[in-house]
Amino acid sequence: MTTSTAVNTIQDFYGHFINGQWITDQNSLPVLDKYTNEEFSRIGNASRRIVMDAVSNALETFRTKKLHPYERYEILLRAAQIAKERKEELANLLVKEVGKVLKDAQGEINRGIQTLIASAEEAKRIAGNGVPLGQPGNDTKMAFTIRVPVGVIGAITPFNFPFNLTLHKIAPAIAAGNAVVLKPAEVTPIIVCKIAEIFQEAGLPAGFLNVVNGTGKEAGDYLLADERIAMYTFTGSPRVGRHIKSKTGIRKVTLELGNNSPNIIHKDVPDIDKAVDLCVTRGFSNAGQACISVQRIYVHREIYESFVTRTVTACRSLKVGDPADPETDIGPMISEKEASRAKAWIEEAVQQGAQIVYGGTRQKSVLEPTILINVKDNMKVVCEEVFAPVISIIPFDDIDQAFEQANHSSFGLQVGLFTSNLQLAMRATQILHFGGVIINDVSTYRADVMPYGGVKDSGVGKEGPHYAIQEMTDEKLIVINL
């Protein structure tokens, strides 16, 4: 059975998008408004057969239809234009489906548009390298490489930035000439169905983007089991990242995973108020549910008291509650279960000696922004990824001690350092073991064009359209005997 979608409306049900058609089967899952907890739509829960059909169609598409780089450029630019025209509708959907406050939702749509534009631009400049063969015995040889699409890419995406992070997978994959089978997070799938609509309207031929909805355990695992998929691109938790690695053998995998982001505020911070403002905004935006959210803040003891006071003061003006209210700064977490898990971590830390200097209360899925002091390295709120609006402020006496504490983590995505000392900043870039070191801004800084990805348990491989395209293409060597 097939159904069609109407632009600008949210349907009661979305199935699976295969070969340009919406396919439905018997099984379905509810999609909830994350603030009211009311069901507002349903999605399909793909069987193994549906996932296999999606992969078969993507493979057939990849083998039989070719898009010239300029066509890919035009499609991606058109998709950006359509998203721009539908900005308000898309942002409102994020408010409902993710519980994102309106300004965060609008910000995410704007960033997704930029991801599409950057991918469009990259589509036109995918190139290999000249290969010098300057060794004896190669006088009659000339060599160079070209970059070719890997084939069918399996993409699995998380709930927290379901528009922009999904586009960080689909747009470079299409720019590089691949076909994609995507499985979105089952709690935030509708925005991804909207992305499928947008690409169809932008003229992407059927089969280059197939979307299978469903749970990770079922649809996700069926996708991992399909050996016809050449590469997986995943963003999500380290737990699932490990599982994906274990299931995919020698096939290519990129993993964008978690972090318990450290930020170091040295005594020579250029502007303490700016640093406070960034830590508060980026520790609590998206209800702390960003992989590079400010979590651990190491502050030099000379400015520690002042930093804590200013941070608490900055929190007092934050409005918490209904994400649809344009004045709201912090909305609900993704579920009551997650908010209650974060609250339990706070309580455990308090039992172990931590002190709450702001927040700490919970109303259903809304956790008040929370600041902890007197924390210890082994508390969950410090050593694990809290993924909630919870920050800890920790004093240090010696900057090398702060570097050590920042590095003392199983994660290594991004770190922030505030200092006026250029030499110290440069030394820090050599000591801090992270995918990105951000000087005089917080760990949360990300421009969508930059190389983004972590070390250690934060993952493997880079995103950012130019870098993702490197991951999503194979370098093929050409040798000519003259």
Spell out the residues 6+ positions from residue 23 whose beta carbon is closer than 8 angstroms to its own. 1, 2, 15, 16, 17, 44, 50, 53
Give the shortest CB-160-to-ligand NAD separation in angstroms: 5
* 383 carries an active-site annotation: no
Catalytic residue chosen out of the listed positions 193, 291, 315, 471: 291
For ligand NAD, give the closer residue by CB, 177 or 238.
238
Residue with tokens 């036109």: 124
* 97 carries an active-site annotation: no
Whose CB is nearest to ligand NAD?
A: 216
Q: Which of residues 198-257 bind ligand NAD (CB under 6 A)?
A: 215-217, 220-221, 224, 235-237, 240, 243, 256-257
Give the shortest CB-320-to-ligand NAD separation in angstroms: 21
Q: Which of residues 379-418 bind ligand NAD (CB under 6 A)?
A: 385, 387, 413
Give the shortest CB-273-to-ligand NAD separation in angstroms: 28
Q: Which of residues 53-112 bind ligand NAD (CB under 6 A)?
A: none
Binding flag, residue 186, ligand NAD (CB under 6 A): yes
Catalytic residue chosen out of the listed positions 256, 338, 368, 471: 256
* Alpha-carbon span 394 to 418, nearest angstrom: 15
Q: How many residues bind ligand NAD (CB under 6 A)?
A: 30
The 121-160 site mask, x for binding ligand NAD (CB under 6 A), equals: -----------------------------------xxxxx
For ligand NAD, give the closer residue by CB, 105 or 303.
105
What are φ and ψ of residue 20, in 5° steps?
75, 10
For ligand NAD, give the closer residue by CB, 75 or 191.
191
Give the shortest CB-461-to-ligand NAD separation in angstroms: 10
For ligand NAD, give the closer residue by CB, 86 or 296.
296
Active site residue ranges: 256, 291
Residues in touch with ligand NAD (CB under 6 A):
156-161, 165, 183-186, 215-217, 220-221, 224, 235-237, 240, 243, 256-258, 291, 385, 387, 413, 459
